[in-house]
Structure formats: structure tokens, C-alpha cells
A and B are shown apart, each in its own frame.
Chain A
Amino acid sequence: MKTLIIAEHDSQSLKGATLSAVTAATKLGAPVDVLVVGSSVAAAAAQAASVAGVDRVLTVEDSALEHSLAEFVAPIAKQLAGDYTHVILGASTFGKDLAPRVAALCGVNQLSEVIEVIDAETFKRPIYAGNAIATVKSSDALKVMTVRGTAFAAAETGGSAAVEAASVTVPAAKVRFVGAEVSESDRPELESADIVVSGGRGVGSKEDFAKVFELADKLGAAVGASRAAVDSGFVPNDMQVGQTGKMVAPKLYIAVGISGAIQHLAGMKESGTIVAINKDEEAPIFNIADYGLVGDLHDILPELVSKV
């Protein structure tokens, strides 16, 4: 038994999802290798080598791999997969895009968003927007899976793995990177923040969302949103928390002007403490909130900002 983790990185450092994947991998009790693919991999590979629990870091460096597109990375992973029983990726958009392509090339199924490792073949994962937890057993010789970051703590440093270049052929692909539009933010990353303040349709407008940002900044929190707030154009869609957005499990989640639809709850109900601020006392969010405050958020938010 041996596990390969495909690292997600930005040339400088590994993404949090990859560190969670290492933790999930160590629960299998087998050696863990990390594959770092890109146009410039030295920094990310060095970081991977220093992660506790990692045995070996494999690198593939080529200018064609600059944007880590699945069409290039999946065939590389396939060339290496024969040495492994498990291939694990974080369940970020990178992992979700890549893992199924790797699995299909290897002729096996894939398990998505694993939240618990029971043994080397048996895993738990949420289905139906988190309203049911399935225990599944894979009989594939190679298990390819993505793991949910909020279910596994990030692996610590303290390792000293060897770094070596993998001997693989870099494939050609009929896809070209055109450009990226990155949302700028100085706030903590949504999926790893200790506190998240989220706004919904009830916030009212893009301008009024400033009150949500103000509270978040006062608390050192990340800012999230419901689908309604995104669709109304209050905030960009990469801030969406829910079944089709990001999964978060902070220590404190403050839901402001969010009714609490099934799809939103799927993304945040594992949070430590949940606070709901809503003027509708029948809103479903109050059914899962530890502390609820019924009232107008336009009055409550400024008062909160001034008092915390």
C-alpha cells in the first residue's frame, strides 16, 4: 500500500486543501508521496518535503504545466499511478476538476468529498447536500478520491522528505489557458478562517454589504455569502457558501440575512458555533443556530461592530 497526493500550489506554496489531504492520507497508515507538477515547482516541492508524514516528493517541471490544467496533469498522474493503491486530492475546484479525469484514465471509480477514512477501502462521504452520510466501499485496485478540507486538519511541518524528479512524459493537449480574473482580498481565506461572517439576500444591496465586511474586519473574519446574495450581484460568486459553493467549518459562523435553505446549510452546518441574525423569526436558519437574534440587521450590525 502506498498513497500519492497530487499537490495544488501557486508556485510559491501549497494550498490548504493539499495539507488536509496529507492528514487524510496518513490515516491509511501507508507511505505518502506528494506529486508537485508545474512550470516552477521548487518552492512548493520544498514545502511539501517539510510536511510531517510525507515520505517522498516527486516533481514534474515543464512550461506546458504552468496552469496545472487537468488535460496535462491527469496523464502524468496516470503514468505514476501503477506504484500506488491510493491517489488523494483536496476537494477544491482543482481537485474536483482533476481527480475524475485521473480515475477514468486509470479505469477506476472515484470517491468525492470523503469526510472520514474507516479503512483502506471504506470511507464516509456526504450525499444529498449533506442530508445523508454514505459509507462506501471501493473494490477498485486503485482508489482515487478527493477529501473535504474541513473534515481533516492541515498537516503540520516537521518532515524532511527527499525530493526527486519523476520520469514521465509531458503530454500534449488541445486546450490553452487564456486568462484569469482573481478576486482580491486581504481577509483570511474563507475555507480556513476561524470566523466567517456571511450575508444573504436580507442584506439588501451591494452597498449595504459593507456592514457585513465591517463586522468581519472587526472580528478578523472571512466573508461568505448565500447564493441569493451572489445572484443579486452583492458579491462575487467565489464567496458562495453551500452545496455548490464552498464548504466551511469555522469555530464561529455568523449568518446575516440568510434564511437557511438546504443548499446553504450543506456548506456550513459543521461550524462550531452558529449565530443567526434575521428579522424573520420563522427562518429555518434558527433551527440550527446556537444563538439567534431576531431583528433588523441594519440596526444590529453597526451595534455589533461598535461593541465587540
Chain B
Amino acid sequence: MKALVAVKRVIDYNVKVRVKADNSDVDLANTKMSINPFCEIAVEEAVRLKEAGVVSEIVVVSIGDKSCQEQMRYAMALGADRGIQVEAEGKLNSLDVARILAKVNESENAEILLLGKQAIDSDNNQTGQMLAALLDVPQATFASEVKIADGKAQVTREVDGGLVTVEMDLPAVITTDLRLNEPRFAALPKIMQAKRKPLDVKTLADLGVELTNSVELISVETPAERSGGIKVDSVDALIDKLRNEAQVI
């Protein structure tokens, strides 16, 4: 069976973002970009399913300008078989991304659609659920364990208060949580091989998708800074501050 994995190029998770002086957006010029950590977990899961003999082909999809090919090559170095880049400029909202992925899947017909649970830039946590809705298939969000057998997926999900396990008919959309797996490192020979794997570029016109852009970004501000605190030198001093100054205990 085929797995379709969506990956997003985002600012590296260790970088502390700066808001632009004109408050139009965050400043991404000259910052390190990487594959979104949850997408990396999705690629790893697909590769493990392939190694287990469940999946026969892994197609990685990314939407953006040419620079996102870097993250697609990385996914191929981890084990994805081929890539589809959908050429698009600027920031896309989740609904448009889901619509594009649904269109891509019209010709791919993957049984397993793997996405990260959220991208660490927009923090939306929407695309997988929207894709499942558009395809009218089941969804398993925040997955921490995935078992595929007999054309069904049994997925354990991380929810508030514990874990929930659901069983779904395939095709289905699965979004990955942190605990699903520990992604492997891309070895140098694999990085070299990944350069020769097929990568198709499609345009929105090819797919017949028009962007909706119904959510407009008005401004971006730096959150209120906390004023610097003090260091105390003993437990007694700490308790005194908490009781008498902050009055919280």
C-alpha cells in the first residue's frame, strides 16, 4: 500500500523568532530553516511501515517555493521514495493546504496519509483533520502508536487525561505526536542517493486549485515581556517572598 506524507519547511525549532520592526510579520530572513519536527516523525513512521512490509511506496509532498525541495530531499534521505512539490508563493492557510493535498491524492490514492500534528510556525494543528474531512475518511490525530493490519489502522492517540485507541478503515489520515517515534539521522550515502530520487513539480493550475486566503494577517507583535525577577539565597527567603510579597501561598 502507498503512504503519502506531507512535510513543511519551517524555521528551525531552536531559533528564537524576531518580530519585524513594522509589525507586519516575523523576520525569517537569514534564519535557519528545517523540516517541521512533527513532519519528520511522520516520515519516520512511513519508513518504519515500509521496513515492516506494510507500505510499498512513500510519496512525500511539500507546498511552497523551490526552497522546500531541501526538506523533501531530507525526507527522501530518511527513506521516502519520491517527491511532489506543489509550487506556491507566500503563506498558505490550512484549508488551502488541505485542498491541495486532497487534489494531489486524487492521482496518488494513498491508503495511509501521514502528517505532523502541527507546524511549529503557525501552531495551527488543522491540516490533517481538514484533509480527512475533504476526503471523507477517518482521522487519528496525535498518534503515539500506529498498527496497520488487514486493511485497518489501529491507532493510539494522546488526549487530555491519557490515551485513547481507535480502529479505522483505510484510507485514513494519521497525524503524529512527539511520542510516536524517534526519527533516524540521514546518513551521508542516503543523502547522496536522495538527490537522484524523482521529484515532480506541479503548479496550482496543474491541480486546478485556487487559493482562498480567507484569513488575513493584520499584524504581528512581540508578546509582553516579563519583567526580570530576583534570585533569593535560601528556602526561607523564597517562602517569605511567596507569602508576603507575591502572596501566592
Contact = CB atoms under 8 A, between A and B. Distances in A.
Interface of A: 67, 69-71, 74, 92-94, 96-105, 107-113, 122, 126-140, 173-183, 195, 219, 227, 230-231, 236-238, 243-244, 246, 251-252, 262-263, 269, 272-275, 281, 286-294, 300, 303-304, 307-308
B217 interface: yes
- Most A CB contacts (10 A, CB to CB) among B167, B177, B215, B239 go to B215
A144 to B, nearest CB: 10
Contact of B123 (A94, A103, A129): A129
Contacts, number: 246
- Most B CB contacts (10 A, CB to CB) among A140, A251, A290 go to A290
12 contacts: A70-B141, A98-B129, A101-B129, A109-B215, A127-B26, A134-B217, A177-B166, A180-B162, A275-B238, A281-B231, A290-B226, A300-B235
A115 to B, nearest CB: 10
Contacts of B167: 175-176, 178
Contacts of B70: none
A113 B123 contact: yes
A177 B122 CA distance: 31
A101 B130 contact: yes
Nearest to B99: A104
Given A136-B218, A137-B216, A109 B123 contact: no
A180 B120 CA distance: 28
B229 A175 contact: no
B11 A178 contact: no
Contacts of B94: 100, 109-110
Please list the 9 inter-chain residue pairs (A to B) with the smallest Cβ-Cβ separation, ordered nearest first: A100-B129, A104-B133, A104-B130, A100-B126, A174-B169, A290-B229, A178-B165, A252-B248, A175-B138
B210 interface: no
A182 B162 contact: yes
Given A292-B230, A300-B235, A251 B216 contact: no
Contacts of B161: 182-183, 238
Given A138-B215, A304-B235, 9 more contacts: A112-B126, A135-B217, A136-B215, A173-B138, A177-B165, A244-B178, A251-B248, A269-B223, A287-B228
Interface stretch (B79-87, B152-160, B197-205): B152-160
A133 B221 contact: yes
Contact of A291 (B158, B164, B229): B229
A293 B235 contact: yes
A155 B234 CA distance: 40
- Most A CB contacts (10 A, CB to CB) among B120, B133, B214 go to B133
Contact of A244 (B118, B231, B232): B118
A136 B17 contact: no
B120 A243 contact: yes
A127 B220 contact: yes
B50 to A, nearest CB: 24
A67 B138 CA distance: 14
B124 interface: yes
Contacts of A173: 138
A108 B95 contact: yes
A131 B133 CA distance: 31
B46 to A, nearest CB: 20
B26 A132 contact: yes
Interface string B143-154: 010000000001
A103 B95 contact: yes
Interface in B168-220: 168-169, 172, 177-179, 212, 214-220
A251 B179 CA distance: 30
